[in-house]
């Protein structure tokens, strides 16, 4: 099942997404007619894991981490499917990273590995937009609009062995499987729950394979994870 949120004239509405329609308790809302898709959840934080694919380590000349290497994006980083990605004036090197992400469904902490599936609402997609020429991860990755999220949450997905690809301006830039992760999804969620109280709607992104090339104004970024869907955003002119 796919869960989505739509912004209508009367405010946000949440429901089940089917063929371009969000079906809520009070009726059906057609995307593009009755409103536009919002990000599928409202996280208090996006916990993002980096350096989680061997080819990324090779690309960036990183050492293999002994445990998940993470950083945090704030709620103001979130933008929805089809919304423009800002190109900040402070950077000349904007890039992308197509990531599978889990959405937390209940307040939890100190999870065992076996408990993880039971606390997740489902899975969505994050584009970890990065201003490469800035100093420090917060400056690079935590600015407004740096976390495109969506288009919906898929509740019925095994996150292992999921194929993905990213196209930028029609060019295939990424292609991989979640089986290539150094730390797998349930392991990452359990690890983060030892350090943070996870709240409903929080997002945990599992990292990206190598992402060659930069983004240019006007370029469309399409990130697909099989079984979830395609997150699409265009870089602002």
**Rounded Cα–Cα distance for residues 155 and 24 (Å):** 16
Split at pLDDT 50, 70, 90, the class of 63 is confident
- Enumerate residues 6+ apart whose C-beta is below 8 A from 102: 120, 122, 123, 159, 185, 189, 203, 204, 206
- Same structural domain, 84 and 173: yes
pLDDT digits (tens, 9 = 90+) for 148-160: 999 999 999 999 9
- Same structural domain, 154 and 213: yes
Residue 153 and residue 227 in contact, taking contact as beta carbons nearer than 8 Å:
no
CATH code at 10? 2.30.30
> What pLDDT score was predicted for residue 195?
98
Split at pLDDT 50, 70, 90, the class of 57 is low
- Same structural domain, 28 and 116: no
Backbone dihedral angles phi then psi of residue 227, each to the nearest 5 degrees: 90, -15
Report which of 109, 117, 113 is spatially closest to residue 199, judged by C-alpha positions: 109
pLDDT above 70: residue 56: no
- Same structural domain, 53 and 32: no
- Same structural domain, 109 and 208: yes
Domain containing residue 13: 1-38
Residue 231 and residue 97 in contact, taking contact as beta carbons nearer than 8 Å:
no
CATH code at 43? 3.90.850.10
> What pLDDT score was predicted for residue 61?
61
What average pLDDT is seen over the chain? 96
Residues 2-12: what's their mean pLDDT?
97
pLDDT digits (tens, 9 = 90+) for 118-132: 999 999 999 999 999
Domain count, the chain: 2
pLDDT digits (tens, 9 = 90+) for 166-188: 999 999 999 999 999 999 999 99
- Same structural domain, 73 and 179: yes
pTM listed for this prediction: 0.96
């Amino acid at each position: 099942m796919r869960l989505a949120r739509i912004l209508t004239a009367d405010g946000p509405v949440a429901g089940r997404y089917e063929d371009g329609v969000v079906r809520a308790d009070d009726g059906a809302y057609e995307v593009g007619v009755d409103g536009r898709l919002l990000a599928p959840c409202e996280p208090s934080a996006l916990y993002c894991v980096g350096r989680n694919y061997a080819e990324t380590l090779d690309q960036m000349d990183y050492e293999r981490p002994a445990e998940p290497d993470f950083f945090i994006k704030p709620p103001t980083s979130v933008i929805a499917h089809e919304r423009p990605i800002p190109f900040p004036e402070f950077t000349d090197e904007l890039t992308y990273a197509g990531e599978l992400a889990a959405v937390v469904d209940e307040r939890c902490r100190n999870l065992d590995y076996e408990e993880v599936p039971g606390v997740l609402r489902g899975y969505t997609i994050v584009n970890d937009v990065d201003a490469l020429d800035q100093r420090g991860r917060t400056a690079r990755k935590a600015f407004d609009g740096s976390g495109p999220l969506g288009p919906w949450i898929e509740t019925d997905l095994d996150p292992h062995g999921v194929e993905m690809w990213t196209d930028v301006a029609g060019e295939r830039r990424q292609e991989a499987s979640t089986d290539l992760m150094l730390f797998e999804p349930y392991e990452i969620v359990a690890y983060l729950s030892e350090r943070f109280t996870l709240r409903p709607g929080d997002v945990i992104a599992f990292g990206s394979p190598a992402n060659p090339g930069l983004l240019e104004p006007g370029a469309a970024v399409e990130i697909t994870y099989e079984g979830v869907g395609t997150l699409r955003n265009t870089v602002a002119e």
